[in-house]
């Protein structure tokens, strides 16, 4: 199941020392010789002129500082991936360049950013790194604009055919279409009685309900479940007492990393030792700061973990060092990279003189795996269905250790 916007908020205090300043730029510099040969220069259309395709990037450079911390660099990462492609001749001889707009982390800002990119910057399509993609969903669908990005919300990523998630789609209603990708993994770790901790937002509630349904479907008891936790909550005395009373020996959280840490601390102070799965917080900067607190706990990763050092990750890391050296290698930058990579896949599928409609139609016919960085996604079947396969890592010391080089794959539970 895909996590909602709460999964993108990083531990601000722990990461502050590692943070870099804002780029302050709405346009990234492109390199490479992919300005076109043959018919590329004569190709024209929305976002295409003089042998160049202009792609918009919706990112966040204002608003909640814990989100801005990494999301401000989306354009830098996207352009880094484009630069690699440009140095290989571009896409069908067309050079790629990115221009960004800030949505401030709000639905109204998201719509304004999309309008700016489409109506003023005249982009071909959009790479979106936003916690509020629903603000512009209807507008971009009606405009026929292709979008790739981090599927942080079911509206629009589970509903609209022009939206493509970098690691797959998202369930429209996880409570009605549960799968065992999380609870099946926990069962292999001996969990028989689950405690679920979620936030008050609709996405968290729906995902938690789906996890509960999946647990019951495989014979696992749900001893305690709450969706009344507020962002930044620090007192879990009552919750942990109820968890103890219920006899839960496993925990799944649908919370931001800051709140996760407060919960983990409370569980430890109560003398409990459940198997804990945190669905957010996979970030080396976090574990470097608080490793002992989460030692032994598991973290969800929806792409091949960095620690596997696969060729696709090496390509990402090398390009970032060359083109965006100030951008941290993190979950957010990985999603930005994968979203740009998927956009390139769409352009390649769209033909030598791509159109927006051709991009959407033909990308829906492909299977995408980012060179092994993500589990293969059959785009023809993915819309409205989250992936069944995830990787898991365990915190050991100040490092994440992959549980396996292969993802754990669940199955539909309904």
Write the burial class of residue 31 (CB in 10 Å: 0-12 exposed, 13-18 middle, 19+ buried): middle
Tell me: cis bond preceding 169? Omega within 30 of 0 counts: no
Name the pairing type of β-strands 298-301 and 250-254.
unpaired
Give the pLDDT score at 2.
Answer: 43
**Cβ–Cβ under 8 Å, residues 15 and 285:** yes
Lookup result for tokens 């050092």: 309
The alpha-helical segments, DSSP class H, found in 50-95 are 65-71, 74-86
Give the pLDDT score at 14.
Answer: 42
Give the pLDDT score at 39.
Answer: 58
Nearest by Cα to 79 from 65, 59, 64:
59
- Average per-residue pLDDT in the chain? 91
Question: Is pLDDT larger for residue 401 or for residue 176?
Answer: 401
Tell me: cis bond preceding 396? Omega within 30 of 0 counts: no
Tokens of 25: 């730029």
Give the pLDDT score at 25.
Answer: 39
Give the pLDDT score at 362.
Answer: 98
pLDDT digits (tens, 9 = 90+) for 259-289: 999 999 999 999 999 999 999 999 999 999 9
What letter does residue 33 receive in the DSSP assignment?
A: S
Lookup result for tokens 């302050």: 24
DSSP letters spanning 298-342 = EEEESS--GGG--HHHHHHHHHHHHH-TTS--SHHHHHHHHHHHH
- pLDDT exceeds 60 at position 4: no
Instruction: Tell me if residue 408 falls in helix, strand or coil.
Output: strand
Q: Is the dihedral of CA 296, 317, 374, 285 positive or negative?
A: positive
pLDDT digits (tens, 9 = 90+) for 195-239: 999 998 777 888 899 999 999 999 999 999 999 998 789 999 999
Region class of 93: left (phi > 0), else alpha (psi between -120 and 50), else beta: left
Write the burial class of residue 119 (CB in 10 Å: 0-12 exposed, 13-18 middle, 19+ buried): exposed
pLDDT band at 168 (very low <50, low <70, confident <90, very high): very high
**What's the CATH architecture for 5-167+308-382?**
3-Layer(aba) Sandwich (3.40)
Distance CA 388, CA 331 (A): 19
Instruction: Give residue limits of the domains in the chain.
Output: 5-167+308-382, 183-301+389-409
User: Is this model's pTM higher than 0.95 or not?
Assistant: no
Q: Is the dihedral of CA 395, 295, 19, 339 positive or negative?
A: positive
Distance CA 347, CA 360 (A): 9
- pLDDT exceeds 70 at position 13: no
Angle at 76 between CA 71 and CA 78, to 5 degrees: 90
Q: How many helices (H) and strands (E) does the chain have?
A: 15, 16
Topology given in CATH for the domain delimited by 183-301+389-409: Rossmann fold (3.40.50)
Give the pLDDT score at 31.
Answer: 61
Distance CA 168, CA 149 (A): 10
What letter does residue 160 receive in the DSSP assignment?
A: -
Same fold, 5-167+308-382 and 183-301+389-409: yes
């Amino acid at each position: 199941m895909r996590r909602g916007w709460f999964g993108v908020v990083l531990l601000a205090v722990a990461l502050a020392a590692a943070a870099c300043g804002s780029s302050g730029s709405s346009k990234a510099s492109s390199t490479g010789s992919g300005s076109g040969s043959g018919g590329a220069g004569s190709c024209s259309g929305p976002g295409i002129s003089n042998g160049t395709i202009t792609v918009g990037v919706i990112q966040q450079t204002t608003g909640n500082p814990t989100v801005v911390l990494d999301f401000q660099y989306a354009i830098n990462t996207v352009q880094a991936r484009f630069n690699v492609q440009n140095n290989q001749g571009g896409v069908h001889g067309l050079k790629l360049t990115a221009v960004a707009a800030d949505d401030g982390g709000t639905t109204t800002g998201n719509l304004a950013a999309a309008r700016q990119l489409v109506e003023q910057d005249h982009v071909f399509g959009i790479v979106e790194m936003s916690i509020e993609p629903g603000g512009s969903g209807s507008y971009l669908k009606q405009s026929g604009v292709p979008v790739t990005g981090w599927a942080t919300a079911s509206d629009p990523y589970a509903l609209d055919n022009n939206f493509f998630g970098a690691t797959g789609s998202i369930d429209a209603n996880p409570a009605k279409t549960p799968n065992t990708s999380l609870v099946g993994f926990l069962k292999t770790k001996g969990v028989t009685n689950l405690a679920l901790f979620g936030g008050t937002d609709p996405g968290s509630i729906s995902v938690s309900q789906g996890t509960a349904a999946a647990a019951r479907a495989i014979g696992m008891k749900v001893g305690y479940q709450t969706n009344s936790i507020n962002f930044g909550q620090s007192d879990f005395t009552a919750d942990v007492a109820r968890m103890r009373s219920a006899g839960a020996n496993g925990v799944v959280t649908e919370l931001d990393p800051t709140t996760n840490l407060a919960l983990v601390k409370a569980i430890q102070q109560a003398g409990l030792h459940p198997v804990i799965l945190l669905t957010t917080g996979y970030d080396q900067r976090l574990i470097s700061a608080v490793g002992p607190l989460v030692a032994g706990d598991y973290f969800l990763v929806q792409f091949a973990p960095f620690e596997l050092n696969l060729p696709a990750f090496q390509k990402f890391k090398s390009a970032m060092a060359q083109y965006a050296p100030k951008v941290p290698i993190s979950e957010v930058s990985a999603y930005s990279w994968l979203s740009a990579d998927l956009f390139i896949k769409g352009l390649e599928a769209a033909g030598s003189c791509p159109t927006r409609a051709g991009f959407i139609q033909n990308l829906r016919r492909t299977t995408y795996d980012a060179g092994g960085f993500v589990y293969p996604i059959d785009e023809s079947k993915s819309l409205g269905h989250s992936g069944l396969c995830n990787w898991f890592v365990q915190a050991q010391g100040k490092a994440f250790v992959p549980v396996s080089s292969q993802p754990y794959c669940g199955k539909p539970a309904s």
